[in-house]
Each structure stands twice: as structure tokens, then as C-alpha cells.
């Protein structure tokens, strides 16, 4: 499944923002639906299982973090990807959402084009199209144990697919692109989310912790350089 015909649930209590997202989602070929509260969102999600959710954190009755927490605790809904919408200065909520399992986030005011691009990338990873494709742009590392497929936005360890969020994938790709080069937290944020995004080191550290956990036995390839940042330890061994 691409973005075409994907079912998007917009959970936003500000009508202008909800309508803006709806307009651009329809232009992108999605089937958007709007709800204005956390309680209604939970009812709709459990009944209809949308393909992806855009979730504002500041909601009446049940806030966005609680909605995210309940969805990720439920076996039937935990796999639905969530993109959080936050206001400037809500970094603590961003960190909390990431730790709860949100896939990505945008901060208000946001670019609708950027949001649509992130939704398309998420849908491409979570609902891949099985079709022949030209030679894939891949990075093969750690003596072939770790494979980063850039075309499909997929990562595999020992042949088993690893479910990374969009940000986790971006960080791994960025670090692995120059093995041995140390990247500061600010450089990582700028590379993954753009130079205009202002976040603290705490947010990057949370992403790195989650990334290492998912990489399992190969997690040691992401090294901490104290007082500076992070680097990918292993040199690229092959590329296709």
C-alpha cells in the first residue's frame, strides 16, 4: 500500500489545522477522517483500525499522550503508526511520546508538505508494495549482518526485518553513511528533521536508546563519544 487509499485518522481539536491536514491528505490520495477529542479517537481507532494516525497532544477529555499510551498497550492497535503534533516548547511531551512508541512527530507551525512526506514514508515501510524493482540502494554492514535498504526504508539484522520509526531509520542511515565520523546531537537533529528544528540532546538520546534496543546484538555499532555525540563504529563492507 502506498499513500493512495490509505486511511488516515486526524485527531485534532483545532478545526483550521484539522482541515489543512485533511486537504493535503486528500490531495496525496489518502482517505482522511477527522475527530476532535481523545475519547472519540479511541472509539474510532479500535473500531476501524486506520492505517496511520496524526495525533495532536493537546486534546479535550483524553490528551494525546494518554491516547498513545492506550493504543500501544492494546494488542489490536499497537502496530498502528502514530505521528504526534506538538507545539513549540513541548519537548518533554515529544520524548514521552517517543518512549511510548510514537513513530514520528511534527511541531507547530508545521509544513503540510513535510507532514505528507513523513506519512508517505511511514506507509511505504508499514504497507510495502510487493513488486519487482530495480537494483536496490543498500548499505551492507557488520560483515553482512546489518542491511539498510534505502529504497524500501527497511533495516534487517541477520536477515530479520527490524521495525524502526522514521526518525530511528534516519539516525541509523546518517551515522552509517560515514562510519567512524563523530556526529553531534545537533548535527543528527538537523540531518533527520531539518536545521530549523530545535530539540535538546535528551530527545536524541531517547531515539538512540530505542534504536540500540531494536538492533539487538548489533547495537554496539552505534557508539557514544562522551561529550561529543555518536558514531557508527563499523566500516561499510559492501554496497549494492
Break the chain into its structural domains and give their ranges: 7-126, 138-239
Mean pLDDT along residues 42-47: 94
Same fold, 7-126 and 138-239: no
Contact 239, 139 (CB under 8 A): yes
What pLDDT, in 10s, does the model give residues 72-89?
Answer: 999 899 889 999 988 755
In this structure, the chain runs to a length of 240
Confidence label for 221 from pLDDT (cuts 50, 70 and 90) = very high
- Supply the pTM of this predicted model: 0.64
**In angstroms, rounded to a whole number, what is the distance separating the alpha carbons of residues 23 and 78?**
27
Mean pLDDT along residues 93-97: 81
Name the architecture of domain 7-126.
3-Layer(aba) Sandwich (3.40)
What pLDDT, in 10s, does the model give residues 175-212?
Answer: 998 888 999 988 888 888 766 555 667 888 889 999 99
What pLDDT, in 10s, does the model give residues 128-155?
Answer: 544 444 445 778 888 888 999 887 788 9
pLDDT at 197: 59
Residue 48: C-alpha distances to residues 43, 96, 181 (Å): 9, 26, 46
Q: Domain 138-239 maps to which CATH number in 1.10.10.10, 3.90.550.10, 3.40.50.620, 3.60.15.10? A: 1.10.10.10
Least confident of 7-16, 90-99, 100-109, 125-134: 125-134
Amino acid at each position: 500500500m502506498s499513500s493512495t487509499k490509505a486511511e488516515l485518522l486526524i485527531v485534532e481539536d483545532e478545526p483550521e489545522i484539522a482541515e489543512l491536514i485533511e486537504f493535503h491528505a486528500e490531495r496525496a490520495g489518502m482517505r482522511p477522517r477527522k475527530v476532535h477529542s481523545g475519547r472519540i479517537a479511541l472509539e474510532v481507532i479500535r473500531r476501524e483500525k486506520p492505517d496511520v494516525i496524526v495525533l495532536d497532544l493537546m486534546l479535550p477529555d483524553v490528551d494525546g499522550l494518554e491516547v498513545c499510551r492506550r493504543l500501544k498497550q492494546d494488542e489490536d492497535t499497537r502496530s498502528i503508526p502514530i505521528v504526534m503534533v506538538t507545539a513549540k516548547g513541548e519537548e518533554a511531551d515529544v520524548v514521552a511520546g517517543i518512549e511510548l512508541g510514537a513513530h514520528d512527530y511534527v511541531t507547530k507551525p508545521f509544513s503540510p508538505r513535510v507532514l505528507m512526506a513523513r506519512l508517505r514514508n511511514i506507509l511505504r515501510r508499514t504497507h510495502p508494495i510487493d513488486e519487482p524493482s530495480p537494483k536496490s540502494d543498500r548499505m551492507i554492514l557488520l560483515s553482512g549482518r546489518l542491511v539498510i535498504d534505502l529504497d524500501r526504508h527497511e533495516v534487517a539484522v541477520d536477515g530479520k526485518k527490524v521495525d524502526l520509526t522514521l526518525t530511528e531509520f534516519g539516525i541509523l542511515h546518517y551515522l552509517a553513511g560515514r562510519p567512524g565520523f563523530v556526529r553531534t546531537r545537533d548535527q543528527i537533529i538537523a540531518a533527520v528533521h531539518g536545521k530549523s528544528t530545535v530539540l535538546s540532546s535528551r530527545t536524541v538520546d531517547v531515539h538512540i536508546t530505542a534504536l540500540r534496543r531494536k538492533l539487538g546484538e548489533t547495537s554496539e555499532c552505534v557508539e557514544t563519544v562522551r561529550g561529543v555525540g555518536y558514531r557508527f563504529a563499523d566500516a561499510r563492507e559492501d554496497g549494492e
